[in-house]
Chains A and B, each alone.
Chain A
Amino acid sequence: MKIKSDGPQATDIDMTPMIDMTFQLIAFFMILINFDAADQDDRITLPQSTLAKPPEAPTESPITVQLTRDGRAIVAGQEYANSQAIKPVLNNEKYVLESQNKSAASATIVIRAHKDVKTGMVQELIKICQEVGFEKFTLRAKEGQS
């Protein structure tokens, strides 16, 4: 008996489970993505603290200032030679706050300083912020065993 060859045939693959799974993966990564991490900088190694827990309420008008190991300051991704050099930037921030009917005293300076930076440099940074009119400060630390 002669068997008839079917030849090449297009096979329909059911793509639905794969697409379902892919969308679930996308949803998972979208939820997981943390845009706050944009503040973080690889040059800064934060000191660790067991009590460092993420705040329950968001900080009011936060201004993040980072301090590298050798005392250079970073504000909004821009690097400055020292803390004194960020004074004009802080003044700008103050004017922006005042234009929004807020005062500099209501804003919070978030200090992300390298664990090995000299404490005196952190104190100088705080002093410069005080001279501009900022009063609230928070020292940021990484969660972990110190």
Chain B
Amino acid sequence: MARKSNLSDKIPIDMTPMIDIVFQLLTFFIMSLKISTAEGDFNIKMPLAAPRAGNPDPNQLPPLKLRMQADSTGNLGNMTLAERSFNGADRWAQLHNYIASVVGEGSMAASAEVELDCDYNLKYENVINAVTAVSGRMGADGQIIKLVEKIKFSPPRKP
């Protein structure tokens, strides 16, 4: 008796469980996706609790002390740097231009240091604005043109 070969027959595979799992995975990833804007860091050099031993480096420039005073609501009131006051809506641009004129965008900028002396009640976003203004600016090609890299805080002022 001749036997009929079954090799050419299609074996049906039940795809339902796989599709179920795949859709569950897809749902999980869609639900857990959190669209967030990019975040960046500013490095802060802080004064040590004890003063360093030995003589200070003669090549080290004295820090530029940026005084930021808050009004009664915590917003920025007066901002001064080396007897020069920065006011108005473009005060951050003024500050940036002044720092750039003092330290330049070269090797001197690398050794320059800015010290932030802020009122206790000052809103923190003003500190970030000041750090942004003294750190550099965004170039036309999207690259950051660095200015002052050493930034530190003065000891906190008591409220």
Contacts and interface: CB of A to CB of B under 8 A. Distances in A.
Contacts of B122: 118-120
Given A15-B15, A23-B22, A130-B48, A51 B30 contact: no
Given A113-B124, A120-B120, 6 more contacts: A49-B132, A115-B125, A117-B123, A118-B123, A136-B43, A138-B41
A46 interface: yes
A79 interface: no
Interface string B45-82: 01011000000000000000000000000100000000
Interface of B: 15, 18-19, 22-23, 25-26, 29-30, 32-34, 36-44, 46, 48-49, 74, 92, 118-129, 131-132, 135-138, 144, 153, 155-159
A110 interface: yes
Contact of B126 (A46, A50, A119, A136): A119
A50 B93 CA distance: 13
A46 B153 CA distance: 19
A127 to B, nearest CB: 7
A55 interface: yes
Contact of A139 (B30, B44, B120, B157): B44
25 contacts: A19-B22, A22-B23, A23-B22, A26-B22, A29-B33, A34-B36, A40-B34, A49-B42, A51-B40, A51-B135, A52-B41, A53-B144, A55-B40, A110-B41, A115-B124, A116-B124, A117-B123, A117-B124, A119-B123, A119-B127, A120-B119, A123-B155, A126-B153, A137-B43, A143-B38
Interface in A29-49: 29-30, 32-34, 37, 40, 46-49
The majority secondary structure among interface residues of chain B is mixed
A118 to B, nearest CB: 5
Given A120-B157, A124-B156, A46 B39 contact: yes
Contacts of B136: 51
Given A37-B34, A49-B132, A119-B124, A137 B46 contact: yes
B127 to A, nearest CB: 5
A105 B43 CA distance: 14
